[in-house]
Structures are given as C-alpha cells and as structure tokens.
Amino acid sequence: MEEKTRCGWCLGDEIYLRYHDEEWGVPVHSDQKLFEHLMMESMQCGLNWLMMLRKREIFYQCFDRFDYKKIAEYGEEDVRRILETEGMIRSPRKVAAVIGNARQYMEVIEKFGSFDAYLWRYTEGRTLIYRSHMAGEGCAENQLSREISRDLKQRGFRYVGPITIYSHLQACGLINDHIPQCWRFQEINRMADVKVLP
C-alpha cells in the first residue's frame, strides 16, 4: 500500500500523526470543541503542542471535558484540585485564565448567539487558503490572527496572543495550512467553503 504524503510536522509520533489525520484543519462549529481547542492552545503558551496532546485526558479530567458552563462556576477549591492533579501543568495563572476565559466565552455566546458565529464571521464562514503558504511561505501569525487576538483581549480573554490565535484558526479549519501535497489538504477543501487569498 502506498504511504500517504503528510505535513512534515506530524511525522515521528503516533499521537501527532493521529491528530493531523483526524483533527487538524477540520472545520469546527461546535462551541464545546472550539473552547477545548482554544484552551489547549492557551495552555500551550511556552510549551509544545505534543505535550498538550499527551496531557489531553488530564485536561479532560481537570476541566470537566472543557464544559465551559461548569468551568465558569469554578472557585478556589477547584483551582486547588486542578493544580494537585498528577500530571497537570502546575501554572496557577493558566488555570485561572481557563476559568476566566470560560466566563468571557459565555459572554461572547450571549452577545453573538454562539462562539461559532463570533469566530467564523471573520472569514465569512469560509476556510481560507493562502497562496503564499502553499508556496512554502508559512507564518506563525497574520493580520487576521492579530485582529481576533486584539478583540478577544479587549473582551477580557487571557493567553490569546496572535500566535495562539493563528494556531487556533489552523486547528479549527478557518485556515487550511496543510501543504498542498498532503492527502488532508484536498480532504479539508471538500469539507469546506474555500476562499483562496494571496
């Protein structure tokens, strides 16, 4: 059987491979899943994504499977419980940010009807493909991620810098950054309403 061509970043680890093949770049419209991705990306700040994927079950355990309604009600006892969980990232600031972000997340939902509606309005509901990225000119952030980052920060979100938000847009399918040779590139395009930009 012919080996599929994949993006180079996912090679060498089974968890990365599975994430690349099954999740990365698939358009996400579930508020629950969007929150999960955003919080994992926020937790990643200063660390690496492979560690986040390996700790995902611990995050589920600590944060009620990223149920933002439950997390928004967390208090000091919950923070203590989370920080004492074996294998958990012991950062009081990040744990507090997840709780605070859950509260802000619910405010966005109240204003826009869903976080999905809030986020996807930036791309008019379409998945963006950049010709420059297809030509090998990747980036860690762009004007779109800076705009969304600025808006989220103004709404009180933390750990949502433009690089974090760019990763979020890639992961949740607002940007298809699979390399054109990757078997998932066309798969994602078939799932989405695609808009090609310079």
Query: Cα–chain-centroid distance for residue 24?
Result: 9
**Cα dihedral 130/135/140/141 (nearest 10):** -30
Placement of tokens 């066309």 in the chain: 186
Domain edges within the chain:
10-197
Residue type, 136: G
* Token duo for residue 172: 């949740």
Please identify which of the residues 24, 36, 41, 166 carries the catalytic annotation. 41
Cβ-based neighbours of 160, under 8 Å, separated by 6 or more: 38, 42, 101, 149, 152, 153
To the query of whether residue 183 is one of the catalytic residues in this protein, the response is: no
For 91-143, the pLDDT digits (tens) are 999 999 999 999 999 999 999 999 999 999 999 999 999 999 988 888 999 99
CATH 3.40.50.300 for domain 10-197: no
For 50-105, the pLDDT digits (tens) are 999 999 999 999 999 999 999 999 999 999 999 999 999 999 999 999 999 999 99
To the query of whether residue 24 is one of the catalytic residues in this protein, the response is: no
To the query of whether residue 137 is one of the catalytic residues in this protein, the response is: no
Please identify which of the residues 16, 19, 159, 166 carries the catalytic annotation. 19
Distance CA(183)–CA(104), nearest Å, equals 37
Query: Model's pTM, two decimal places?
Result: 0.95
Please identify which of the residues 9, 23, 49, 187 carries the catalytic annotation. 49
